[in-house]
Amino acid sequence: MAQQPARRKRTPNTGPPPHPRQNHLLAALSPEVQERLFPYLELAELPLRALMYEAGRPMRHVYFPTDSIISMQYLMENGASTAISVVGNEGLLGITLYMGGESTPSRSIVQSAGHAYRLPRPRVKEEFNRHGELLLLMLRYTQALITQVAQTAVCNRHHTIHQQLCRWLLLSMDRLSHNRLSMTQEFIANMLGVRRSGVTVAASKLEQLGVISYQRGMIEVLDRARLESFSCECYRVVKKETDLLLHYLPQRQVIAHVEEIPTVTLRQS
């Protein structure tokens, strides 16, 4: 059963909490808007696999991740699931609340543990209805998220597991301040909606090519340039649209050259 996010409890040995401005959308707001919103932000600790939103359940908060990544998934009647988008420090979780709905048909699960600041639903709607800065940023972010969801659907239908894994790793790394991701192959398979064996083969190829290192559930990207070159066009489409709409994000150059993943001989386990 998925864990639930919890309000962070400070202890003497705990380091300083993340600042709301570690979320790039919140950082892009003017001091005036920040002064209006920040007093109502609540810091939440998000453990791995914490269930943020359940399909059909009322949504009471919008979450602004600082150092965590949240996966939005669609759950089938037979229990199978597929990730349709990832949300990190570039934006927010909970677009339904300001788009006119109170619930969502998808569920949201923490795929990389960390923190997020949450804003209660009444405050979200109050600020949104001012038709000011937050409205514009939220709508632009929503358009970027729609692009990601649409491109993910295309990628899942037309591209190989190897390409999907590269795309997913790149989207995840774009939302972290480091190049390491704590993740089991089983969880990755659930994210992509594929068999675990397919993820094992794809990850092993990338590891033998020196692109990633995978040990004890920890993935480290060693060669981002080659990872980008192995990815399909879907990552570049999403990245280009995100950079265009979310002008406040740190810019990262995208590799134009596309390289085929060469055939390698897998090690025998």
Res 230 pLDDT > 90? yes
CA within 13 Å, CB half, 119: 24
User: Mean pLDDT throughout 191-219?
Assistant: 89
pLDDT for residue 89 is more than 70: yes
pLDDT category at 174 given cuts 50, 70, 90 is very high
Domains of the chain (ranges, CATH numbers):
21-245 (2.60.120.10)
Using the predicted structure, report yes or no on whether residue 224 has a pLDDT greater than 60: yes
For residue range 154-165, list pLDDT tens digits in order. Answer: 998 899 999 999
Q: What is residue 4's predicted lDDT score, i.e. its pLDDT?
A: 60
pLDDT of residue 102: 77
User: How many CB atoms within 10 Å of residue 136?
Assistant: 11
Mean pLDDT on 82-94: 93
What value does the mean pLDDT take over residues 102-113?
A: 87
pLDDT value at position 12?
Answer: 42
Q: What is the pTM of this model?
A: 0.87
Q: Summarize the confidence of residues 204-222 as an average pLDDT.
A: 91
Q: How far is CA 242 from CA 91, 236, 250, in A?
A: 11, 10, 11
**pLDDT for the residue numbered 179:** 86
Segment of 77-81, 142-146, 193-197 carrying the highest mean pLDDT: 142-146
Q: Please write the tens of the pLDDT for every residue from 13-71.
A: 467 889 999 999 999 999 999 999 999 999 999 999 899 998 888 889 999 999 999 99
Q: What is the pLDDT of residue 10?
A: 44
Confirm if 46 and 115 have CB atoms less than 8 A apart. yes
Burial status of residue 121 (CB atoms within 10 A of its CB: 0-12, 13-18, 19 or more): middle
